[in-house]
């Protein structure tokens, strides 16, 4: 396998080589960094649980993972130019931990309408930007909705980002990506 290298405007071929390409966007140049499989160590666990509870109409879901992708044996020139790529660092662009918890409840009411309640909580650990090493701190988002439906009609209320998380949730291209502010609303749906 090739050594770790830093090249400006370099395109690397893809194939069976299990290398990781990390894009770096600097004001002075556009660069790509190739880390061969000797430059990182990976350990991760993914878990998904779906449970239809004993309560009629209530389902609970959990999905999460932990990923430790530590840089190791990174070329000294890369570490000098990009200190956030130092040996022992989490691979930029990867969160160590993410998870979400969802609940859905649906029941038929005596008047023939269906009542639905949904809630979603999601968490993402801090992430280092692959572009400049800035860190977007961990983020927690909570959303929910209540609705009643009959035939092809549904009316409801919803809330998004109920914890008023301001983020940023990421820094793609060196720009902050932020969640929408807390949003409360009413919905009217018609299925055709």
How confident is the model at residue 70, as a pLDDT?
83
How confident is the model at residue 52, as a pLDDT?
95
How confident is the model at residue 137, as a pLDDT?
81
How confident is the model at residue 83, as a pLDDT?
86
b/e 72-81 (16+ beta carbons within 10 angstroms → b): eebbeebbee
How confident is the model at residue 170, as a pLDDT?
64
How confident is the model at residue 119, as a pLDDT?
98
How confident is the model at residue 74, as a pLDDT?
82
Inter-residue long-range contacts of 26-29, CB under 8 Å, 24+ positions, other chains counted: 26/131, 26/132
Dig out the tokens for 184 from the structure: 């409360």
- In order along the chain (192 residues), what is the average pLDDT of each group of 10 residues? 36 39 40 56 87 96 90 83 86 89 96 96 88 83 96 95 78 66 92 90
Spatial distance between the Cα atoms of 28 and 2, rounded to a whole number of angstroms: 26
How confident is the model at residue 182, as a pLDDT?
87
**CA-CA-CA-CA dihedral for 74, 77, 78, 79, to nearest 10:** 70
Spatial distance between the Cα atoms of 56 and 115, rounded to a whole number of angstroms: 13
How confident is the model at residue 187, as a pLDDT?
95
Spatial distance between the Cα atoms of 43 and 171, rounded to a whole number of angstroms: 24
How confident is the model at residue 39, as a pLDDT?
64
Which secondary structure element, helix H or strand E, spans residue 190, and what is its range?
A: strand 183-190
131: phi > 0 → left, psi -120 to 50 → alpha, else beta; which?
A: alpha
Specify the pTM: 0.71
């Amino acid at each position: 396998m090739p050594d770790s290298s830093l090249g400006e405007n370099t395109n690397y071929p893809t194939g069976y080589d299990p290398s990781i390409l990390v894009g770096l966007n600097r004001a002075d140049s556009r660069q790509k960094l190739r880390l061969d499989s000797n430059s990182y160590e990976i350990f991760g666990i993914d878990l998904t649980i779906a449970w239809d509870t004993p309560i009629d109409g209530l389902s609970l879901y959990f999905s999460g993972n932990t990923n430790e992708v530590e840089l190791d044996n990174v070329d000294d020139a890369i570490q000098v130019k990009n200190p956030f790529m130092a040996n022992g660092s989490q691979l930029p662009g990867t969160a160590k931990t993410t998870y979400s918890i969802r609940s859905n409840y649906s029941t038929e009411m005596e008047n023939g309408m269906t009542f639905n309640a949904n809630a979603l909580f999601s968490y993402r650990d801090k992430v280092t930007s692959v572009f400049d090493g800035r860190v977007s701190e961990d983020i927690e988002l909570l959303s929910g909705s209540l609705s009643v439906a009959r035939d092809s009609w549904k009316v409801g209320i919803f809330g998004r980002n109920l914890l008023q998380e301001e983020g940023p949730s990421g820094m793609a291209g060196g720009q902050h990506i932020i969640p929408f502010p807390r949003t409360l609303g009413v919905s009217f749906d018609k299925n055709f």
